[in-house]
Amino acid sequence: MEELVYKKQNSYEKAPDKTAAAFEFAKDYMQFLDSSKTEREAVDTAIEAAVKAGFTPYTLGDKVAAGDKRYLNNRGKSLILFRVGSESLDLGARITAAHIDSPRIDLKQQPLYEADGMAFFKTHYYGGLRKYQWTATPLALHGVVIRADGESIRISIGEDAGDPVFYINDLLPHLAAAQSKEPLATAIKGEDLNILCGSAPLAEAGDDPIKRNVLKLLNEKYGITESDFVSAELSVVPATGARDIGFDRALIGSYGHDDRVCAYPALRAILDTDDTTHTQICVLADKEEIGSMGVSGMQSAVFSDLVDELCLALGANPRVCRAASVCLSADVTAAYDPNFASVYEKRNSAIVGCGVAMSKFTGSRGKSGSSDASAELVGRIRRMLDGAGVVWQTAELGKVDEGGGGTVAMFIANRNIDTLDIGVPVISMHAPFEVVSKVDVYSAYEAFKTFTK
């Protein structure tokens, strides 16, 4: 009877021996989170780890040979790491694909203005965020400015204890009677997300003395002028770092778990594996939160170009290689939350602590926008995970017709590569401070590492 019935079990019951390793792994992951608040920073952190593991840079067109460990840095915004196996690429590659961009608030190209004793930046939010969550909380400024002279200036303000932070004003409850009656979606509007960035005027500056003071300080520190914002990518993200949550320290609270909580285990899996037979590829993509478009998104031809180039260099057929390849689309799913039980279908939801969650399909309104993996592929991955003793579960993102979401899976599957979604369940996904379970992060690492073999 025990074997007849499927029973979801949490990692603590099913594999208590893994808990200590999971808590250790979480320490490394939390360091990665704090040093990787944007896709550019995640690329830098990942390259640093890859170089330590013996990976070397690769450019399209380079020669490659079995045993090579290389990385393709795509414009500093996305990264593809690969290990060339001894087996022919006609037998396919093992691919993991996660994304390293997260919802945030970007500065506009003419951002700085002054109004009534304060200076602000105008913004346009990036990805699906609940705007009210981003007010009245400390924010850090990250990004890059390409100056008129072509010089690239990196900016990161608000992360060190002595740094100033930035802020989005909200209304005091005393005057919020009308605002409090508005729906959550419209109480704070897109154009209300203005970043407070100064309030001291520059003496004898004429018009807009506070704005001019901000510009003077920026010029002193970075050599930039107001026109340089035109060629900048500046974002505000929560200034808080990753922290343990709860008396038992079993959860991690942080900005950006979606999708660094899958990107980091996927990265570590390809760095740590001792498999030399299979060719492995790990994609850390940008732009997932806004549709995976553009040169650094998963829809970019760079991924297919790399597979083509590897096959060309190693005497394999890229079409045959893709048809024989398998991909784990490593992205987060929603964790079942008893506080908001009505939007979930509990039997098919991911439960915190029950391991990495496999989603045969994603999408919304009748699976629309999902690549819906085949039963054969799910069967193959399921056998692999069970064979290696990985704690895993299945997931569906909420009730039918309640909403939904997508991942990069379809963009890989469209290239004739068998692809299955699997990732870590997240509480309060897309919030400035999201929550995951340490044992779930570790089970993702175990799943990706098993997959490389």
**Positions in 214-243 near Mn ion (CB under 5 A):** none
CB 318 to Mn ion: min, Å: 28
CB 382 to Mn ion: min, Å: 22
**Rounded Cα–Cα distance for residues 381 and 12 (Å):** 22
**Rounded Cα–Cα distance for residues 252 and 246 (Å):** 9
Stretch that binds Mn ion, among 29-37, 62-70, 250-258, 375-383 (CB under 5 A): 250-258
| 249 in Cβ contact with 30 (< 8 Å) | no
Stated length of the chain: 453
> Does residue 39 bind Mn ion (CB under 5 A)?
no
Nearer Cβ to Mn ion (367/453) = 367
* DSSP assignment string, 26-47: HHHHHHHHHT-SSHHHHHHHHH
Helix (H) or strand (E) holding 376: helix 375-387
> Does residue 259 bind Mn ion (CB under 5 A)?
yes
CB 288 to Mn ion: min, Å: 6
**Rounded Cα–Cα distance for residues 104 and 117 (Å):** 26
Q: Can you tell me whether residue 266 is helix, strand or coil?
A: helix
CB 285 to Mn ion: min, Å: 10
Task: Tell me how far apart the 2 most distant CA atoms of the chain are, in Å.
Answer: 84
Nearer Cβ to Mn ion (114/331) = 331
> Does residue 331 bind Mn ion (CB under 5 A)?
yes
Nearer Cβ to Mn ion (68/331) = 331
**Rounded Cα–Cα distance for residues 369 and 278 (Å):** 31
CB 91 to Mn ion: min, Å: 30
CB 104 to Mn ion: min, Å: 11
Pull the structure tokens for residue 226.
């107001």
Nearer Cβ to Mn ion (245/426) = 426
Nearer Cβ to Mn ion (232/408) = 408
CB 262 to Mn ion: min, Å: 8
CB 408 to Mn ion: min, Å: 8
Nearer Cβ to Mn ion (279/443) = 443
The DSSP secondary-structure symbol of 16 reads G
**Rounded Cα–Cα distance for residues 53 and 273 (Å):** 10
Task: Tell me how far the alpha carbon of residue 161 is from its chain's centroid.
Answer: 25
Peptide bond into 258 cis (omega under 30): no
Size of the site for Mn ion (CB under 5 A): 3
Nearer Cβ to Mn ion (102/213) = 102
Nearer Cβ to Mn ion (259/440) = 259
Q: Which residue is nearest to Mn ion (CB)?
A: 259
Angle between helix 375-387 and 438-452 (nearest 10): 100
Site string for Mn ion, 295-314 (x = CB under 5 A): --------------------
Please report, as ranges, the residues that interact with Mn ion according to CB under 5 A: 258-259, 331
